[in-house]
Every structure is written in structure tokens, then in C-alpha cells.
Structure 1
Amino acid sequence: MEKSSNYYFSGMDTVALAQKYGTPLYVVSEDIIREKIGVIRKSLLDKYPGTKAFYASKAFLTQRMCKILMDETIGVDAVSSGEIYTALKAGVNPEHIVFHGNNKTPDDLTYAISNHVGKIVVDSISEIELLSDLVSGLDRKVELLIRTNPSIEAETHRHMNTAQKDSKFGVSLSQLQNAIKIIMASDHLHYSGLHFHIGSQLFKVEFYLEAIRKIVAQMKVIKDQLQIDTEVLNIGGGYGVDYIEKDKTVDFAVFMDTIVSELNHLLQENELKLAELYVEPGRWIIANAGITLYSVGTIKEIPGIRTYVSVDGGMPDNIRPSLYGAKYNAVAVNKADQPKRELVTIAGKCCETGDVLIYDICLPKLERGDYLAVLDTGAYNYSMSNHYNMTPKPALVFIKNGTDQLSIRRQTFEDLLSCEIINEEV
């Protein structure tokens, strides 16, 4: 059967999906997710012994996503009790969860410990001190990684730069030995190793190499002065993906070969050994695996200035353009074969001047009722969705092997008020 001229995503006619499920609509391809994980397996996990991958679940997390990760033997990097709960509810082995966060509450830490989460990544000396109190009387040791701040100014948006000197994340290298001493003083805490995450949307491997050089130097100091081995090094994620033409998705295999080669050289040079190397890709796995479908509504031309094409979504389903100035590409899915001659701006429906998804994109001539797909929305769209302007959240559909399946239903107005408690006396 010959395909129509509509835009197809991962083998599926997107117009048919929009008509079947309505818009806005998140569409996620399980096929692309597994393809990306396959690259990680081939270029790292199967190639270098002692390596493990943990998916950065803040990028996108549902129970179905967790089941894919379990099937692919990929762990979960969680940053909240809610993410841990979701993973456990889906059946993830708690030993395969690494728990992050710069301000874990006593309840968060207690929840992680009681559920036997594999490793907790402590973010500050005060968190270590809090943990020391919480684990007193425990009949086992809690495995800890220390998130370090290697003071690196990576080339990315300032809100995605997480390892510069002035950062809310991580223990500074000057405080690292003190942090380890506090861990060693506890009968119920175990120092397993170090972690760093220098930022998101990084396209140059040099930033990772700079961080590794600093961290291995610290490992040497820890070994010489504290007589303790660093068993695990977790180098985080942040591997860049192509949202627009000027970007080029990081070649994961080249990145990993370069990083592992430099790490092995430094370890040998410093007479150190490392039991395990962790990576935490999130966006790199999921970003290109998702699109968002919209219906075109009002089209407003301001002569000599701009033409606004408004869609039935915006900030509630994709806040990243407003928050980060994030750039996206789009396709008029029911006019995919038509020439792109109209310069337009894609606006959202919220009562905000800043609710613009894409500025100045060339598309075919659009009319009310046409469908648009904003591409590469798999990461940080669903996970950052919100109810601004009392907007129900969109439905989410997974596609696999040419079939579609509703994974999350569209919210209703009733859902918006489901947690509200009315005081009749008011």
C-alpha cells in the first residue's frame, strides 16, 4: 500500500494519529528509544567491561518507559521520591536505581533507604551529616557516591550549566576529603565513588576530559592521604542532540572511546584502579524519539512585521522555549509535500507574550484545521508539562512496530480540580 503525502514518524501517519487521538498529542516511538539504547550497548556496555548505563529519568518517565529500560537492562537515575516510586511501581529492581538531588529531604532519603535503592548520590556535606543520623541503627551500609563540582564552564545555556564554580550542585573539590571522612566515620555509610555532571546539550568531549582529569587527580589524593579506593566513577550525561540544523547529535561511540581512552591512561599513570564506570544519558535517548502534534487555529498577519500561526498547545505542554530559549523544528504534517514558502512564527494559546514555540520558520501556507508536528520533543516536554491557564495535559501515545497505543489519557477539566478541597463555609 502506497504511503500518503502526509508526514510519517517512525512509520506512522501523523495525520491519522492526530485525528484518532486529538491534539495536542505527545507521540513517543519505542522503536527509536530501543535503537538509541542499542547504540549505547554496542559502543559502551558490550565494549568496555565494568560499564553501566542509568537513564536520566527526569527527561521523560512513565511506567512503560521503565519497562523498556528493564527489558534493555538499563538502570534508572532518579532525582525525586516520585521518580523512585514510578520506577518501583513499574517493577524496576531498586538496586538498579541511583538517587540524585541537591536538596533531598529526610523523607526522601528515608524512602530511598527503606526501598533499598542501589546508590545515593550525596550533593553536600550537610546531606552526608543528615544521612549519618538517619542510618544510625541500620543493619547494613548505604552505598554513596559524592557529586563533585569540578568547576568547569561548559558551552551551553546558563540554566543547563551545572558544574561552574557558582552552582547549587555538588561538593567542591576542596571539600571532598572532608566529605569522605564524615562518610568513613559512620558504621552505616560506605564511600563507593564520585560523580560529576557538567551540563546539558554538550557537543564537545573536551569538557568531559577536563572534568575527568580533575577527578582522577582527586582520586589519587584520596588514595594517598585517606588510604581509600574510589570504586565507581559516574560521569553523568548531557550528550547533545540535534534540535535544529546547526546542531549535530553527539556520536556516542566516538565520545565514549575518547573518554574511556583518556580515563584508562590517567588511571594507569596514577596507579589507580576503577571497578565501574557509569553514564547517565537521558535526552540523548529520548529527545528524537518524541514529537508533539498540534492543530492550527488563529492565523494573524501583522503587515510588514510577522505572521503568527497559533496552535492549540504551547507553554503547558512545552515550556522549554520560554524557559531556555530552546529551539525546535516543525512540519505541516498534512502538507508535508508542499513547498515551504511562508515565513511564520508558531505561537501557543496561553495568555503570555512569551508563549511562542518557534520563531521565524518557513512552512507551507497554513489554514485553520491544519496539523503541525513539533519535532524532537521527547525530552523535557511531558516531564515539564503543567496546568498553566488551567489547561488539561495532553494524551501520550507510544508507537511500536507500526502500531499505536494510548499510554496516558488526555486529562479532563475534572482532573484539574481533583485535588481541590472546597470549604463550604467560605
Structure 2
Amino acid sequence: MPISKNFSQRLYPDLRSIAEHFGTPFHIYDEQGIRDTGLQLQQAFAQVKGFREYYAVKALPNPSILRIMADLGFGFDCSSIAELQLAREVGARGEDIMFTSNNTSPEEFIAAQAQGGCIVNLDDIGLIDKMPQMPEQVCFRYNPGTARSGNSIIGVPEEAKYGLTHEQIFVAFEKAQARGAKRFGLHTMLASNERNADYMVQTTQMLLELVAEVGAALNIEFDFINIGGGLGIPYHPDEKVFDVEQLGRETHALLQTFAAEHGYQPKLYMESGRYITGPHGVLVTQALNRKEIYRTYIGVDACMSALMRPGMYNAYHHIDVLDKASGPDDEVVDVVGSLCENNDKFAIQRALPPIVDGDLLIIHDTGAHGHAMGFNYNGKLRPQELLLKADGSVERIRRAETLDDYFATLRFEPEAWSAS
């Protein structure tokens, strides 16, 4: 859907000057909007004892953004050594970090348990014996298989590579106990960009039921449940926002019922990424060319390497043309980049105001899984990132890639091997 009115009012009056100063293309993020959404999430779960958001670093892995998350009191959900390092660079330590990887290497386990460790969330029962040292606190990721549905982005659970089966969960916690674990968590992640609060409430209920089963079987109490991320945002103008207040209210009721029945209440964690930053970023790109063949194509100076979602998922991202309003003169066009791929399109048969070379196009909702999913096919270089700060100033928070960056891995000391 269109970005918030507050974001556009903060950005659009100065956008041409910002573009002239920094050059295009660029992703720009709205600090105030991010903070407002973070506070809204916290307020929705204010009654839930022990609630904590672990921001999904993969959504927007930039230290300037992560410092905002740390300032809000959020932890960090990490899935690689690089993400662990990013979280630690902004001050995260110990239980501020949830490390959820899959097909995890020994090097990743060592990194996860360094610098005071973190909460290790194991994705596979086979990883228990591969950990160099079993931490005191351990979590397992649950995959309910056919018991639950997924969605088009993450797939149906029984086809997903993630998590342990219902039967494996019991064995896993028992094995972890035998290796010395004393504190336990249970995690799942079943859907991506889910806008139905009922689905996430059902996920909470599912985890609490399993916690009760495992607790009774193994005589353990759980420190926390983690209902994962996947809270969605409305990309289309006619879609509704996720009802986070409903999720907070109904989750609180479920936890209270659990506490009454079992004499304790596990803390509640989640790992939203897109919900926190997605609506608060845009990709700004300049029109370079107009091509008239069987369709009208508007070529811009960004390409799929700066925003993969439309080409990868056929995802819709709303587009504004700066200083031009939609009306009866709108033209139906494809907005395309310069990549040698036919799916290098930001919009397909989209009605937009007439566009001429030099116009600025604002592609909405790129604050998550935008720059982060960039790549270098065709030798294309990823763009810079900017932050519209709460005081109205704009700061570059990541420079654009250069040809020196691209060729850096081709410059190394020669090394070879041959059979003796």
C-alpha cells in the first residue's frame, strides 16, 4: 500500500534535493516510522509478561537500523556469522541474541557461543551431537507438518526444510537434558507476510499445547516460546494492516490460561522483521528511458539487484512518481531495470502518470528484504542506503558498491593444488 502519510510528508518535499545531493538510486528509511511501529508493537504486548521482540536481522542488516532496535530494547534474531557480528557491534550480548540457523557448520556454532554466547535455536535433531558444547539454555524449532498450513512465500510446513517433527521434539529435549541443558525454549516459524492475526494466535496456542505435552513427559518448565516472525504488511492499496492489538490481547489470554493450568507462564518472544521496517523504506530511482514496442517500458537506473521481490515472488510494490498525481491521463506501463533478465521488472502493466526521463519514481515498502536480498548478476552494483532521521536530516548509512568492491575477490595471492 502507499507508504504512510507521515513518511511521505517528511520525505517528498525534499526528495528532489536529496536525490541531487546523493545521486540515485538509493533505499531510504524513515527513522520516526520505524520507532513508532516498534513502540506500537511493545504497547500491544504490554500486558504479556516477559515479551520481547527479536528483530530479524536478515530483513535490514544495517548497523544504523540495528541501533534503533537496540534503543527500543529489542533483541536480534540472527542466522549467520555476519549477522551475529552485526548484532554484537551494536552492543547485543548473551540472551539479546537468538541464533537460528539451519544446516549449521561447526564454525557457526563456535561463533554463536563466543563473546558470552546467545540463545541457540536448533533446527535439526542431528545438530545436538554436533554442538561443541551444549549451552545451559537451548531452544528447538518445531515443524508441525500437515497439522498446520503455511503460505505461498514460505511454503507448506511438510515441504519446508526447517524444524523438527512432533516425535523428534520429545527426543531432542531429552537428549539436550542429557548433555547438560537446564533451560528450554520452543520456536516455530510457519508463514511469511501473514496478515491474519488469527493465524498467529493459533500458532501461540499450538506451541503452548506442545509445551504442556513436553513438560509433562520430561518434567521441565519452559523459559519461553517464540512464535517466530512473519507478521505481514499490506503491499496493495486495498489490503488491511495486521491487527497487532488483537494478537497481543488474545496471546495474553492464552498465556494466562496456561499459567492457571500449569502454575507458571513462559515468556513470549517473536522475531518480526518486515513488520517493523518494511513499510518505512522506499527505493528511489530515476527514469532513464522510454521504450515503445508491444508495450510501453519505462527504464530506470535501479534494477532487480536492488529489489528482488517483484522478480522472485511476483510481488506488488506501489509506485509514486514525484510531483505527479494519478488521474485520467495515466498510462499503462512496465517499469523495468537494465538487468539481462526478463523478470527485471518493478511493475507490470501498471497505470502511472506520464513519465519522462529524469522523473523520480518512489517504489514503496522496501524497508525489509529489499537491499538485503541484493546480488551482483551482470556485474550490477548494489545501491546506497540513506536514513531520514527523526530530526529531518538525511544520513548515508551504506555507500553504494563500487567496481573495486566487485573485483576485490578476484585479487588474491595465487594458490593451486595438483596431484603429486
TM value normalised by structure 2: 0.91
Asked if structure 1 preserves the Cα contact closer than 8 Å seen for 2:296 and 2:333, the reply is yes
Q: 1:169 is matched with which residue?
A: 162
Q: 2:5 is matched with which residue?
A: none
Q: 1:81 is matched with which residue?
A: 81
2:379 match: secondary structure: coil
Q: 1:146 is matched with which residue?
A: 140
Asked if structure 2 preserves the Cα contact closer than 8 Å seen for 1:123 and 1:171, the reply is yes
Find the aligned partners of 2:308 and 2:43 in 1 and give their Cα distance: 34
Find the aligned partners of 1:102 and 1:192 in 2 and give their Cα distance: 19
Matches within 5 A, 1:190-269: 190-268=182-260
Matches within 5 A, 1:253-292: 253-268=245-260, 270-271=261-262, 273-292=264-283
Q: Measure how far apart 1:190 and its partner are.
A: 3.4
Mind listing any 5+ residue stretches in structure 2 that lack a counterpart? 1-7
Find the aligned partners of 1:29 and 1:299 in 2 and give their Cα distance: 31
2:278 match: secondary structure: helix
Matches within 5 A, 1:22-421: 22-44=23-45, 46-131=46-131, 134-135=132-133, 141-151=135-145, 153-154=148-149, 156-157=151-152, 159-161=153-155, 164-187=157-180, 189-268=181-260, 270-271=261-262, 273-302=264-293, 305-336=294-325, 341-400=330-389, 401-421=391-411
1:258 match: secondary structure: helix
Letter in 2 for 1:19: E
Find the aligned partners of 1:215 and 1:36 in 2 and give their Cα distance: 26
Asked if structure 1 preserves the Cα contact closer than 8 Å seen for 2:121 and 2:138, the reply is yes
Mind listing any 5+ residue stretches in structure 1 that lack a counterpart? 1-6
Find the aligned partners of 2:229 and 2:41 in 1 and give their Cα distance: 12
Q: Measure how far apart 1:9 and its partner are.
A: 4.8
Change (3 A) 1:425 1:110: closer
Find the aligned partners of 2:329 and 2:244 in 1 and give their Cα distance: 33
Deviations 1:111-155 (A, max 9, x none): 111222330101111111212xx017xxxx442111111235546
Q: Measure how far apart 1:39 and its partner are.
A: 0.2
Letter in 1 for 2:29: V
Letter in 2 for 1:135: Q
Letter in 1 for 2:406: L
Find the aligned partners of 2:40 and 2:30 in 1 and give their Cα distance: 16
Deviations 1:198-235 (A, max 9, x none): 11111222322333333222222222221111221111
Find the aligned partners of 2:205 and 2:52 in 1 and give their Cα distance: 21
Q: Measure how far apart 1:192 and its partner are.
A: 1.3
Change (3 A) 1:49 1:224: closer
Find the aligned partners of 1:19 and 1:153 in 2 and give their Cα distance: 50
The number of residues matched between the two structures is 407
Find the aligned partners of 1:378 and 1:186 in 2 and give their Cα distance: 41
Change (3 A) 1:278 1:88: same
2:373 match: secondary structure: coil
TM value normalised by structure 1: 0.90
Change (3 A) 1:246 1:160: farther
Asked if structure 1 preserves the Cα contact closer than 8 Å seen for 2:101 and 2:123, the reply is yes
2:381 match: secondary structure: coil
1:13 match: secondary structure: helix
Letter in 2 for 1:127: L
Find the aligned partners of 2:177 and 2:213 in 1 and give their Cα distance: 16
Q: Measure how far apart 1:413 and its partner are.
A: 1.4
Letter in 2 for 1:247: E
Q: Measure how far apart 1:406 and its partner are.
A: 1.0
Find the aligned partners of 2:217 and 2:183 in 1 and give their Cα distance: 15
Find the aligned partners of 1:244 and 1:117 in 2 and give their Cα distance: 41
Find the aligned partners of 2:314 and 2:136 in 1 and give their Cα distance: 40
Which moves more between the two structures, 201-210 or 121-130? 201-210
2:32 match: secondary structure: helix
Asked if structure 2 preserves the Cα contact closer than 8 Å seen for 1:241 and 1:250, the reply is yes
Q: Measure how far apart 1:272 and its partner are.
A: 5.1
Asked if structure 1 preserves the Cα contact closer than 8 Å seen for 2:326 and 2:352, the reply is no
Letter in 2 for 1:148: Y
2:348 match: secondary structure: strand
2:158 match: secondary structure: coil
Which moves more between the two structures, 284-293 or 59-68? 59-68
Letter in 2 for 1:264: Q
